[in-house]
Structure 1
Amino acid sequence: MKLLRAALFSLLAGVIFPPQIAQAQSDDFPTSGDDYQGEDSHSVEGRSDEFEQEKENGPKLTDADEVLERLATIRDECQPAELYRIDCLAERLTTLEKSMDNLVGYGEARDILSDTANQLREITQNNLDQDRPRARLESTDGSFRSKSPLSAVSAANERRALAQAVAVLAEAETRLLRSAESSSRRAVQYQQIAAALGSNKVLLRS
């Protein structure tokens, strides 16, 4: 009889208290310190962050020639954007810069591309068309889609905004060429990046 009562009590305890038991098991898990998160938690989290960044900015670049290729595609990607062209160029440069963080020795180039994108974005904001909605640019074949919505400059201010954007690209070219002079090891690559970036002035003059 005593054994039967003990068995019933154990059964009831299992039914009534499972949440507290589960919590106790979690709290009692052996750790090596207060910040313990499991052996693989950081690596899993790191892989997740890396995946999200790659999905957002495209695959990480592993060769300087890929920078040139990406710069060369901007004209075709942003040409249809019309009044959104300047912001499209800014968005493309930002995306490119973020995908370069695995390239060793291109920190100055990344800084220049980032600064250039910010200046172009500021030009758009200073000449903003308040009546046009922000929009994502997408190619008809689906091979390209802007990572973020783009803003348009007003038609009345377009000529002035484009001239300002051309001046910003020219300044970026000069900075890249100066960086080439101070780094004999990367001189040719910086010169090529300057030329590829400068070629997009055609986009802003068309």
Structure 2
Amino acid sequence: MTRRALVPLIALMGCAAALSAEAQGVSTPRDQQGTRSANGGDSGFVTPEFYPAPPGLPRGSLSDGVTGLIVRDLSEARDFCIRSPRVEYVIDCLSEEYGRIAEKMPRGDYEAAKSAVAEAARGLGALAGANADPRLPRARLKRPGGAATPPLTPVRSTAVNRLNAAAAEIVEEAETVLLRAAERSDRRRAHYQRIAAAIGSTKVLLRAL
């Protein structure tokens, strides 16, 4: 059975009558229970509302710890959205999760990375909005930590392959921006390359959907 032939989000929640066009229902991504992140840790978006300052340094200073949190969140966002019960919701899910991560990222040494992730979030959101499927409801997905996303916009089922390819191009542009920024600074090279790799892995999966 293909992804598009899976039971609709509404039926998965057993609340078809309650889920309106403004998506009051919540759906749980497939295989969410008992999963672990790609980095081996428990999945769950458990980082704080903002990435803390490294010990003894101002917030925004490069550190392996902060970079690791950003990479983990990007990887978990990828895994969470790709497991969406319907592929039509993946693009706007990525937009929402990238936006959350960008908001948490500090400025300072991470300014260019923050901007690249935020721009990818805006591009993905615009793509989903411009290609919304009026036949499908907006829907919330339940994050591993328990909170639900805002209502997500599904893209047109008939164009999902083309739109996923377009989304992959948006993500690839963010990856390219990060790699170029890495080349301009020896000090931040390794950090930006790690963030770029996390973004790039999303691109690969989008093209495989």
What displacement does 1:202 show?
Answer: 3.4
Over the aligned positions, Cα root-mean-square deviation in angstroms equals 1.7
What displacement does 1:153 show?
Answer: 0.3
In structure 1, what is the Cα distance between the partners aligned to 2:147 and 2:181? Answer: 32
Specify which of 106, 130, 140 is matched with residue 134 of structure 2. Answer: 130
Equivalent residue, structure 2, for 1:110 = 114
Equivalent residue, structure 2, for 1:189 = 191
Specify which of 171, 174, 177 is matched with residue 173 of structure 2. Answer: 171
Q: Which amino acid aligns with 2:123?
A: Q
SS in 2 for 1:199: helix
Task: Write out aligned runs for 1:63-102 (5 A).
Answer: 63-81=66-84, 82-101=87-106
In structure 2, what is the Cα distance between the partners aligned to 1:185 and 1:149? Answer: 40
Give structure 2 stretches of 5+ with no counterpart.
1-46, 53-65
Conserved 8 A contact 1:60-1:100: yes
Q: Which amino acid aligns with 1:98?
A: E
User: Cα deviations across residues 138-196 of structure 1 (Å, max 9, x unaligned)?
Assistant: 15xx5254442110001001011100001111111111000001121111100110001
Q: Which has the higher helix share?
A: 1
Equivalent residue, structure 2, for 1:201 = 203
In structure 1, what is the Cα distance between the partners aligned to 2:88 and 2:108? Answer: 36
Change (3 A) 1:153 1:86: same
Give identity over the alignment, percent: 35
Conserved 8 A contact 2:138-2:152: yes
Conserved 8 A contact 2:142-2:149: no
What displacement does 1:58 show?
Answer: 4.9
In structure 1, what is the Cα distance between the partners aligned to 2:147 and 2:178? Answer: 28
Conserved 8 A contact 1:136-1:149: yes
Larger relative contact order, structure 1 or 2 (CA cutoff 8 Å, min sep 6) = 2
Equivalent residue, structure 1, for 2:51 = 61
Which of structures 1 and 2 has the bigger CA Rg? 1
SS in 1 for 2:68: helix
Conserved 8 A contact 1:136-1:145: no
In structure 2, what is the Cα distance between the partners aligned to 1:105 and 1:117? Answer: 20
Conserved 8 A contact 1:77-1:144: no
SS in 2 for 1:148: coil
TM-score where L is the length of structure 1: 0.67
Q: Which runs of 4+ in 1 moved over 6 A?
A: none
Conserved 8 A contact 2:136-2:154: yes
In structure 1, what is the Cα distance between the partners aligned to 2:149 and 2:173? Answer: 25
Number of aligned residue pairs: give it.
147
